Amino acid sequence: MTRQQVNEENVIRVGCPAHNCGGRCLLAVHVKDDPVQGRVITRISTDDRPGDSVADPQLRACVRGRSYLRRQYHPDRLKYPMKRIGPRGEGTFQRISWDEALDTVAGEMQRVKAKYGSSALFVPYGTGGYSQLTGSQTARRLMNLFGGCLGIYNSYSWGATNIATPYIYGTLKSGNQRQDWLNAKYIIMWGWNPAEMRDGTNSDFFIKKARENGARVICIDPRMSMSAVSLADEWIPIRPGTDTAMMSAMAYVMITEGLVDTAFVETHCIGFDQSQMPAAAAGAESYSEYILGQRDGVPKSPDWAAALTAVPQETIIRIAREYATMKPGVLYQGYGMQRRAYGEQVVLAGCALASISGNVGVSGGWASGLALQPEDGPSWNLFPTGGNPVKAQIPCFLWSEAVLRGKEMGPADGVIGADKLDNNIKLIYAVASNALINQHANINRSARILRDESLVEFIVVQDNFLTSSARFADILLPACTQFEAWGVEDGWKYGEEVILMPQILEPLAESKSDFRICADLAERLGFGEAYTEGRNEREWVEWALDRYRETRFPELPDLATFEATNQGVYSRPVTHPAVAFTDFRRDPERHPLNTPSGKIELFSQRLHEKGNPEEIPAVPKYIQEWESPFGPEASRYPLQAIGHHTLHRVHSTHDNVDWLEEAFPHRLLINPIDAKYRGIADGDLVKLYNDRGTIIMPCQFTNQIMPGVVDLPQGGWWTPDEDGVDRRGAINVLTSERWTPLAFGTAQHTIMVQVERAAA
């Protein structure tokens, strides 16, 4: 391939395809017009706007955006509609026409609706696309106009923290704009790895800047992650699932050494001790009574925590003192530790620490919790799905329960909007989703459930590739990539920009955009006009820009102007980063929180009233996980497994990209101590298993993980051999479908396994 001269005429600036990657970045695609293939992208560069300041930094794409051509032009792209021949899940398909495909889908939608009712239809959680016209929202709109479908709430990413954070703060918007980190003196990155999972483009860059500004940075994580290597002054390895124990012990140190910000606690919190309990719960265990062990006889001291966490007690004491005295300080909670059994507890415990240290509502501090942007943050999706005539909603993680026993599900299973479900799920329309198989817990179980055609009678999967979920389709529809469709995106959790995604390429073969496919179905079902509202895709993007202009960005240019600049991004510099809870901090009477008491609820009356103190305590508590190194299961399965979010993939997207496999070969990461004990050499094939399934894959030694913990980076595509053993390495073969008690969220990181050397 010859080197190309950089020529402005054939460079188009465009948002990087919006997967659920943690970033929203800018690409500059270099195009040329080929006489046979039409327009092709020849190479990709990234944001090169001059300036690159902290207030308005470049949005540089990561390794996944930079290797995108290997995905865009991958030979395995789905090109034609297909229908299943052979048993479901086998993955053998036959090409059919769009007419036949859409007639079949429309027909099945009508049949199922007529036979069972709208609530038997289901669009599963899917985050493979987020650019308005690409993604599951296109199918959700279709269903809603068709009479509705069983709804979902919450997410796989933020299940526990979405539900827990409002209990203590009354809102999800407990975060500051990130430039404020530069005002911090101390930053704890607790299970947080922005250098690899991004969490907003440039989050890692901002922490680097904070460090240059003098902040001391600590990483607490079972792994020495990319963030620990590049950003931390100190890495503290911790046993997975025990973070709440360390947080409790830190609170113990602060309380017993008089390091609590008592002034703040007195005026802004309730539940710290008996002097601040809500009337209706007078006498119930308060936060400090739990920490000091005054009720349960177990002081949550550093040596108590050391035995659980494997963190030396001197370290726990020192970190507690540092966090309490080096102020203002940030305690940033990553999401992995709340994607575990009782994940709600660690969220609440972190918020409690931020509160008793007085780091709430101050510049350079951080209230913790989910931490969405205060006042105003990214909209993610503007594309309207409309109202769902079916009011019942299930927690998104419990969809397989609704397939098996929907009609028996009620509030005890997290159902909201109705007392019970009218139906089991009978039809699934999956768009930009690999959460039927690959990303949902306990793959072998999901596969068994979906193979049974008497349960789910019809499955449509709409995707770019034949993923492990797509193998279970009855009808498989080829979707466009985001270079082949119009779109627009704003930030990922953070960000002050609108990024345009004009259509660059013609759709590959017979693929269509998610919007176009759903619009064509809507046409067949008799409401095409209502679906499109008379807009084509470009006009929908224009519509989205109008919405942005009305809400977040009044100065946003119109589409024609925006496109003509070829800038790709409209950004608003952040010179005075907003800080959450400053009004509340200044005047808690005039600006109460949206909690029953109006204050920070270290003790939550609402949680107390749930009457389940073992699993949903009113104050944050360490609860031993249902699969842990401390339980009887450890005698058979002595190793904890986690699945970190690797830069190789965005969840399961990009698993088939060769440059990414070259950069990050997919391996089971194991400490040499654990490996040598099992007679395993570096690079050996290993068998990794528990009661739920077995994986055989090559291993790699690493010193950057605690002994007793193995790491199988998540998102590898499930690839069962003839014995049902996964040979690629999909961690969900090992995970459990059991959900968290309060949020009905996923606990997929709570896994115990055994590892052995495998014969070749």
Partner 1 sequence: MNHPVRQFAFHFDASACSGCKACQVACKDKHGLEVGRLWRRVYEVSGGGWQQLDGAWLSDAFAYNLSIACNHCQRPICAELCPAQAISKRDDGIVLLDSDKCMGCGYCRWGCPYGALQYDESAGQMSKCTFCADEIDAGKPPACVAACPMRVLDYGDISQFQNGSSGHGAPLPVTALTQPALHIKPHKDSHRSQKEPARVIPAKGSALKENSLVAFTLLAQAAVGAFLLFGLMAAWLTQTAGRPLALKLIQLGAWNAAPLIAAGMLVSLAHLGRPTRAFRAVTNLRSSWLSREILFASLFSVTLLLLTGMSWQNAPSWRALTWTSIAAGLSGIGLMVSMTRVYMLRTVASWNNRSTPISFSVTALMLGAAAVGTALLAGYKWLIVGLTLPDQLLLASVFRTAALVLIVLPIIQGISFRLWLAASWPGYGESGVHLQSPLPSAPIFRLRLATTIIGALLLAAALYGHTIASGQSWHPAAAVLACCLLVVGEVMGRQLFYRAYARSGV
The amino acid at residue 431 is: V
| Closest distance to partner 1 from the beta carbon of 238 (Å) | 9
The amino acid at residue 652 is: S
Whether residue 212 contacts residue 204, with contact meaning beta carbons closer than 8 Å, is answered with no
| Closest distance to partner 1 from the beta carbon of 54 (Å) | 11
| Closest distance to partner 1 from the beta carbon of 8 (Å) | 10
| Closest distance to partner 1 from the beta carbon of 674 (Å) | 10
| Closest distance to partner 1 from the beta carbon of 307 (Å) | 5
Whether residue 180 contacts residue 577, with contact meaning beta carbons closer than 8 Å, is answered with yes
What's the token pair of residue 29? 């695609």
| Residue 88 or 208 with smaller CB distance to partner 1 | 208
| Residue 42 or 536 with smaller CB distance to partner 1 | 42
Q: Which residues of the shown chain bind partner 1 in the complex (CB under 8 A)?
A: 1, 3-6, 43-46, 48, 52, 60-63, 66-67, 69, 195-196, 201-202, 204-205, 208, 224, 226-227, 229-231, 233, 235, 237, 306-307, 309-313, 647, 658-664, 671, 673, 702-704, 706-708
> CA Rg, the chain, in Å?
26
Cα 510 from Cα 479, distance rounded (Å): 9
Cα 759 from Cα 556, distance rounded (Å): 61
Q: Which helix (H) or strand (E) holds 697?
A: strand 693-701
| Closest distance to partner 1 from the beta carbon of 208 (Å) | 5
| Residue 301 or 469 with smaller CB distance to partner 1 | 301
| Residue 386 or 672 with smaller CB distance to partner 1 | 672
Strand extents, DSSP E, 59-150: 82-84, 93-95, 121-122
| Residue 120 or 752 with smaller CB distance to partner 1 | 752
| Closest distance to partner 1 from the beta carbon of 760 (Å) | 22
Q: Which helix (H) or strand (E) holds 685?
A: strand 685-690
**Under DSSP, is residue 501 helix (H, G, I), strand (E, B) or coil?**
strand
Q: How far is CA 535 from CA 547, 556, 711, in A?
A: 15, 21, 47
The side-by-side arrangement of strands in the sheet containing 11-15 is 11-15, 26-34, 38-46
| Closest distance to partner 1 from the beta carbon of 183 (Å) | 20
| Closest distance to partner 1 from the beta carbon of 224 (Å) | 6
Cα 648 from Cα 142, distance rounded (Å): 33
Which class for 760: exposed (0-12), middle (13-18), buried (19 or more C-beta within 10 A)? exposed
Distance of CA 499 to the CA centre of its chain: 21
> DSSP string covering 242-259, please?
-HHHHHHHHHHHHHHTT-
Cα 760 from Cα 629, distance rounded (Å): 29
| Residue 673 or 681 with smaller CB distance to partner 1 | 673
| Closest distance to partner 1 from the beta carbon of 60 (Å) | 5
Distance of CA 625 to the CA centre of its chain: 21
Whether residue 602 contacts residue 168, with contact meaning beta carbons closer than 8 Å, is answered with yes
| Residue 239 or 608 with smaller CB distance to partner 1 | 239
| Residue 63 or 685 with smaller CB distance to partner 1 | 63
| Closest distance to partner 1 from the beta carbon of 657 (Å) | 10
| Residue 6 or 280 with smaller CB distance to partner 1 | 6
Q: What are phi and psi of 283, to 5 degrees?
A: 95, -15
| Closest distance to partner 1 from the beta carbon of 411 (Å) | 42
How many beta carbons lie within 10 A of that of residue 130, not counting itself?
24
Non-local (6+) Cβ contacts of 221 within 8 A are: 189, 190, 191, 192, 193, 227, 228, 235, 236, 237, 238, 334
| Residue 48 or 609 with smaller CB distance to partner 1 | 48
Cα 471 from Cα 90, distance rounded (Å): 6
| Closest distance to partner 1 from the beta carbon of 653 (Å) | 16
Find the angle CA(288)-CA(292)-CA(298) to the nearest 5 degrees.
135
| Closest distance to partner 1 from the beta carbon of 554 (Å) | 30
Q: Which of 638, 724, 708 is nearest to 672 (CA)?
A: 708
Count the residues in the chain.
760
| Closest distance to partner 1 from the beta carbon of 646 (Å) | 11
| Closest distance to partner 1 from the beta carbon of 553 (Å) | 24
| Closest distance to partner 1 from the beta carbon of 187 (Å) | 14
Which class for 325: exposed (0-12), middle (13-18), buried (19 or more C-beta within 10 A)? middle
| Residue 445 or 644 with smaller CB distance to partner 1 | 644
| Residue 45 or 754 with smaller CB distance to partner 1 | 45
| Residue 193 or 442 with smaller CB distance to partner 1 | 193
Cα 570 from Cα 586, distance rounded (Å): 34
Cα 628 from Cα 625, distance rounded (Å): 6
Q: Which helix (H) or strand (E) holds 429?
A: strand 427-431
| Residue 29 or 330 with smaller CB distance to partner 1 | 29
| Residue 310 or 331 with smaller CB distance to partner 1 | 310
Whether residue 107 contacts residue 419, with contact meaning beta carbons closer than 8 Å, is answered with no
Cross-strand pairs, 159: none
Q: What are phi and psi of 471, to 5 degrees?
A: -60, -20
Residue with tokens 């040598």: 676
Non-local (6+) Cβ contacts of 214 within 8 A are: 185
Non-local (6+) Cβ contacts of 29 within 8 A are: 11, 12, 13, 14, 41, 43, 44, 483, 504
| Residue 196 or 496 with smaller CB distance to partner 1 | 196
Cα 354 from Cα 330, distance rounded (Å): 8
Q: What are phi and psi of 95, to 5 degrees?
A: -70, 140
| Residue 52 or 422 with smaller CB distance to partner 1 | 52
